[in-house]
Structure 1
Amino acid sequence: MGRNGSRYTIAEKLYYIGLVNQGEVNYNSIQRIYGITRNQVNQWIERYKAQGITGLKHRPLGRYTKELKLKVVLEYLKGNTSYPQLCSKYNISNVSTVYQWVHRYTSGKELTTRSAKPMKNGRKTTKIERIEIAQWIIAHEMDYSGAMDKYNVSYGQVYMWTKKYKNGGEDALVDRRGKGKSIHDQLTSEEKRDLEVKRLKARIEHLSTENAVLKKLEELERMDALHNTSTKPSKH
């Protein structure tokens, strides 16, 4: 399995970029041999083209200024630029980060420079909680930060739970420290139904928010088009 993008060294990123650019391997081979996804390698390539070595450096979470956020949002609203392209151009760690900025701006809320928060301490959780949190993160396109705030858990916890859930499913989230597998580790039918309902609700919530942003963008585009039409000089 591949690692999280920020866990690769700059030398490793340059190596994989070179393999693709020199035509020695294609994206599918990279994923099959090294376990790195096409999107990950492509993101490195785009960042390297735009910023050189600087684009391959990891940016700590919560280090984006208000000015940068506004610049990125306005560039997106102009059109012809996707979230992944903006992430590559400005070395932003996650597509969902840009999405949240756009949603906040189009909802009339102020973009602020968020100072780095102290890391949350982990807390004890049940298996059901861990499954629910992992499902919520996946439904919200890997929004670890949102899950930390919503469920009051640490980054290390949500990252590990999601990774385990994606690789091994529900059983991978059983806490077996100091004990063997027990029949009590199994979820009841009712618990499974409740988790499925929460998973679907989380996905619907995310898609509804995304749809609201798209509608707001369409409204802004119509207003812009009307403004341009009204300001055109009349012909005599």
Structure 2
Amino acid sequence: MGKKGSRYSLEEKLVCIHLVEQGMNPHAVGDQYSIKDDQIRQWVTRYHQDGEPGLMRPKPQQYPTELKKEIVQKYLAGQTSYSQLAKEYQIPNIAVIYQWVTRYTSGKSLKTIRGKAAVKDGRKTTQLERIEIAQWVIANDLDYVGAIQKFDVSYGQVYTWTKKFKQGGPSALEDRRGKAVEDHGQLTESEKLMLENKRLQARVERLSTELAVRKKIQELERRNALKRKGTKSSKNSHKK
């Protein structure tokens, strides 16, 4: 028990819960079995609430992308933990939140991709398309999966174009196959203007999404503050 990524049986969970109920600190139990102490605390809470059925492995659940972002950004804002967020949003496994945070901070998409939906064949593109796609990826914090779905291209294409664009700019995305030496593939002023407008549009859309998430977080924090204030007031009135 305790290998990274392993799935724990009901018996293993009950052993940890029993040790905690006997007075052993969850952190000490976690060290003994190489399990995160937050995970053990969550098992204890679920066991007290629902008994053994609460410890059974739930069926995989799909969460909306915006909800994932909301939870991740709330964690990154500080003053909360994986276990607190799991309890607040009723997510049965704190490891799920940990995975979301890891993906988000490494620049990967939080969108749920079923089966092999994200694996696409490449398609022919123009230099303008490649520049637009690379700009969109950069404006959206390296959301390669989002670009695959939005522009109907392959992961390999998106990754390569973005890397080339970051290193060499628009000219690095020119396709030189079969072209004359004197043809430098220079963009016209109107093409440059169109690409700049699309880059700005992608950035505005990204900022709008981030603003919406921040507003949701602020609203949740406001509700929680009011709830805590109400609980405190109620306790004080009882004391009187």
Fold shared, TM-score > 0.5 on shorter chain: yes
Asked if the contact 2:130/2:173 (under 8 Å) is kept, the reply is yes
The alpha-carbon distance between structure 1 residues 181 and 144, as it changes in their structure 2 partners (threshold 3 A), is: farther
> Where in structure 2 are the equivalents of 1:155-234 lying within 5 Å?
155-183=155-183, 185-232=185-232, 233=235, 234=237
- RMSD, matched Cα: 3.5
Shift of 1:81: 6.8
Alpha-carbon offset, residue 182 of structure 1: 4.5
Read off the aligned partner of 1:214 and give its amino acid letter. R
> What per-residue deviation string (whole Å, max 9, x for no partner) do you get for residues 66-95 of structure 1?
48998996575365179xxx99x5483442
Contact (CA 8 Å) 1:132, 1:195: kept in 2 or not? yes
CA deviation vs aligned residue, 1:97-139 (integer Å, no higher than 9, x gap): 47x57xxxxxxxxxx6844425101111000000000000000
Once the two structures are superposed, what CA deviation does each residue of 1:131-172 show, in whole Å capped at 9, x if it has no partner? Answer: 000000000010000000100000000000001111111111
Deviation at 1:178, TM superposition (A): 3.3
- Of 72, 77, 94, 2:74 maps to 77
Match of 1:141 in 2: 141
> Structure 1 segments of 4 or more deviating over 2 A?
65-79, 89-98, 112-118, 178-184
Distance 1:189 1:146, change over 3 A: same
Inter-partner Cα distance in structure 2 for 1:119 and 1:180:
34
**Rg larger in structure:** 2
CA distance in 2, matches of 1:210, 1:66: 24
Distance 2:150 2:189 in 1: 26
Distance of 2:68 and 2:216 partners within structure 1: 18
Which residue identity is paired with 1:80?
A: G
Change (3 A) 1:74 1:169: closer
Percent identity for Structure 1 against Structure 2: 49
Cα separation, partners in 2 of 1:173 and 1:214, compared to 1, 3 Å: same
**How far apart, in 1, do the equivalents of 2:190 and 2:220 lie?**
45
Q: How many residues align?
A: 160
Say if 1:66 and 1:113, in contact at 8 Å, map to a contact too. Answer: no
Report what 1:119 is aligned to.
119
Aligned to 1:92: 102
Is 2:145–2:155's contact at 8 Å kept on the other side of the alignment?
Answer: yes
Contact 2:108 2:142 in 1 (8 A): no
Q: Kindly state the Cα deviation for residue 225 of structure 1 after the two structures are TM-superposed.
A: 0.8
| TM-score in terms of structure 1 length | 0.57
Instruction: List alignment gaps of at least 5 residues for structure 1.
Output: 1-49, 52-64, 102-111
Q: Which secondary structure state, in structure 2, belongs to the residue aligned with residue 92 of structure 1? A: helix
Distance 1:125 1:72, change over 3 A: closer
